[in-house]
Copies of this chain bind each other. A is one copy, B any other.
């Protein structure tokens, strides 16, 4: 069994920002030398998500609006009694589905025609990591 571990760093210019990381995951898969296996893509911070969907800016706005409707910023959340102000980011990342595991087949990410891997930042403007863990053979 082979394994490969990589940490991608992000520091988005906006508080909420969605970044297509498909190519970075593909590069990690190539470096791993794994032909058949799994790749876990997991944000190591709890106010960001990794999800799979379309690379279309209108749809990304639809995601942001839905999440803002369900878990709006600026409410008097319990979490804010600790001095924090980002409870909405914790809730949004959870609704968005926080992590993905994808397949590697014949040495490549085994993606459908429109599957793209996104990093969804809900409390940005600071350095954060995403773990890419590959196992296989």
A interface residues, Cβ below 8 angstroms from B: 1, 3, 5, 36-38, 40, 42-46, 51-54, 56-59, 61-63, 65-66, 70-71, 77-82, 84, 87, 90-91, 94-103, 105, 110-115, 129, 131, 133, 135-137
Contact = CB atoms under 8 A, between A and B. Distances in A.
A56 B82 contact: yes
Contacts of A91: 62-63, 66
Q: Which among A80, A84, A112, A131 has the highest number of chain B CB atoms within 10 Å?
A: A112
A110 B43 CA distance: 11
A56 B77 CA distance: 12
7 contacts: A5-B105, A37-B135, A53-B90, A54-B79, A56-B82, A58-B81, A105-B133
